[in-house]
Structures are given as structure tokens and as C-alpha cells.
A and B are shown apart, each in its own frame.
Chain A
Amino acid sequence: MGGMQGFGTVAPEPGEPPFHEPWEGRVFGMSLTLWATGGPIGGMRPQLERIETGRYLASSYYERWEHALEVMLAERGVLAPADVDRGVEALRAGGWVPERSDPAMVEAVLADMQPRPPARPEGGHRFAAGQPVRVRRISTAVHNRCPRYVRGVVGVVERLLAPDWLPENEDLGEQRRAPCYTVSFAAADLWPDDGADHTVLVDLWETYLEEAG
């Protein structure tokens, strides 16, 4: 969404709680529990970006999470959307969510919120700090993490970041790491007619970059 216009002003809410409704906490908690226990879901981000644009904009954050959870569980054959429909009917007819206690699972989710030993593969960077780079004009339909507003624009490598999993491969079901960079862009290069003077720093995988000039 970076740089898009027409969304209006930012509306902070004083004293905002972590979750506005209990169900938002349940969606969040179910997701973290499934991740912590190696459950049958993948990453949230590719799913959220796959949501049809009109629906995406009309939904709240946790409504999108709930929908994405359903999609991921259906794709992995755990349940069908019709199962959830039937569950909703059962709840309307007076049903309830059964309680289930599992101390090992509680331990797993709490362990997942603890510091982890750093896993930082080194090296293999093609570009150096201070080097100008141009962001490729990526047009693939595959999930990626290259913001549209920097595509085709020249920036300068601010710092090298450890290689990380390519988001594209998450979508394709394979795992490969590539070096990452923080790239610095002048606002004047991103939006030449704005007259703005700030700097935007964007984290990009090496596969999104090419030598400038």
C-alpha cells in the first residue's frame, strides 16, 4: 500500500486494548498455537495478500486472519469450509466450544515466546554497502515481498542483512535462502513531484535487485 492515496487520515484510538473482542484473541491464539506445535498451516502473509482486494479492504485485521486460517486448513485437507458452516449452525443452535487441556501444548506455546538461539547464516552478498542498486520491475503473480512503490527505482545499499527464506518459495512449497539488504531511497526518487525530503529504508531480497547504471 506504500504511497497509495485516498485512504484518509490515520485514526489512533487512545487506550486501545491488545484485542477489541475476545474472538480476535482466539484467532491470534489459535494461529500461534498451530505455529508453535508445527500444526497444518503455513505463513500468514502469503494468505493475507491472496485475499481478493475488495474483501481485503472491507475486512478488519483479525477477520483477514480468520479467513486465512480457514483457507490454509482447507488447503491442507484438515477441514472444509462447509465444516465451519456446519459448526456455525451448531453454535446458533446452542452449541459451544469444548474445553480441552493439554499442558504440553501450553508449554510449547510459551516456549515459542522465549528468546531463541540466533540462526544467522552469513555471506554470499553480491552487493556492497554504499552501492547503488535498482529494484527490478517484478511482475510475477507469485507471492513476493517487494513493495510496488520501489520497483524500478534506484536506491543505495544501507546495510547487508543475513540471508533469509525467499517468500516466493514459501508459496511454491520449497525453501531457499537469499541474501537481504536494507536499501535507502530518497523520497525525491520515489515521488519526484511531491517535494518531500525524507528517506525511506526498505528491506529487500537480493533477487529483487540489479546493478544500477
Chain B
Amino acid sequence: MSEGHHHAREKSPSELRTMALEALLVERGLISTDAVDAVVEQFQNEIGPRRGARMVARAWVDPAYRERLLADGTAAAAEMGYGGAEGERLVCVENTPDTHNAIVCTLCSCYPWPVLGVPPVWYKSPPYRARMVREPRAVLREFGLQLPDTTAIRIWDSSAEVRYIVLPMRPDGTEHLDEDGLADLVTRDCMVGVAVPHATEGVAA
């Protein structure tokens, strides 16, 4: 851990208690600093929404993979090399012209880590957790997603051990894109269900 130069800025109580905890656990041999480094490095650089986006893009170009993804999300993720904690029971729910899906955890902040990484603050926040099950159309409008009144909305509250990911619809005007180009269109928010992909988008959130 790079704690060698921590001058100037006042440390918060949580930061200090975290450092004290780490020192105690290291002294007791219960953790190593390089193991903690490895977790942080993985979640900063490797395990994030780009993984889920690759799965979505593959499902768009490969009907057989789409079938496997919808039948068993865990196995379809494992095929791509993704799995582990918080992804052992992965279920993929598919958007259609008639139905829009979105995910929430009202009890805490359950989230499919291996395919989306750690959740953003808003996903863990009381407003999202409280309102997404009760007034999803209003929440989606705040995210800039205006769905027709005729679109059925299905909100998945991951209150037990299943973790969900949304398979969005492939946007029109993307026929020329390959799998990587398609994955670029699929943001984290599209896979949570608070956004839909657009042909012009180019940056994964």
C-alpha cells in the first residue's frame, strides 16, 4: 500500500480507523498488504462494466450465446472468464420493445460485481433504493430515460442471492459495428436499466 507520503491533508476518522485496522490485521497475520492491493487493483482495472458490456455485445451478434445468457447467466459469464463473489447466481433479464427491466437492491446494495464491478454511490443511496421500486418511471425520467406509457416496467429487487444484469436492446444503426464497437455503446447504466444504449454513444460509464 502506498501510504508512504501522507502529509498535509487531514485524515478523516474512517480513513484513520481503516489504516489502524489494516495495521492490526497485518500484525496479526490475518491479511497481507499485497493481497489487499490485489483486490483494489482488480476492481480498479479489471473487474468493471466493460465485462458486462462484452457479454451484451456478444449476445447481440451471437444468437446462441444470447440463448445461453438468458438461460444461465452464471455459466454465460464463466464462458467469458467472469465469476466469483456476488456473481454465483447471475440472472440476465432481457429488454424487448414491450418491456423494460431495471435492477435495485432495496435492502442493501447487492450488485453483480464480477460483471459490473463495484456499484456507484447513487445505486447504494437511499433515494434510489427507496424510489426505484415505487416510482420507477419518475426515477428513469430523472436519468433522462423517457419510456412510452405502453412499455411495461419490471423492477428486479435482488433481495436474496441472485444478482441481475439487464440485456438491453441493440440500437438501430449499428449494423456496421463489430463486437468491440458494440460493447463501446453499452454503459453500466444500460445494464442496471436506468439507460438504454444509443448508436452514437461511445464511452462506457
Contacts and interface: CB of A to CB of B under 8 A. Distances in A.
B31 interface: yes
Given A63-B14, A113-B47, A203 B158 contact: yes
Contact of A204 (B32, B40, B106, B160): B160
Nearest to B18: A23
Interface in B127-159: 127-131, 133-137, 139, 142-143, 152-159
B44 A90 contact: no
A198 B131 CA distance: 13
A132 to B, nearest CB: 18
Contact of A109 (B39, B128, B133): B39
Interface residues on A, range: 35 or more
Contacts of A83: 20, 24
B96 interface: no
Interface residues of B, number: 90
Interface of B: 1-4, 11-40, 42-44, 47-48, 74-75, 77-78, 81-85, 88-89, 104, 106-109, 114, 117-118, 120-122, 124-131, 133-137, 139, 142-143, 152-162, 189, 205
Interface of A: 1-5, 7-13, 15-23, 25-30, 32-37, 39-40, 45, 48-49, 57, 60-63, 66, 69-70, 73, 78-79, 83-88, 90-92, 95-103, 105-106, 108-110, 112-116, 118-119, 145-147, 149, 161-162, 164-165, 180, 182, 187, 190-191, 194, 196-205
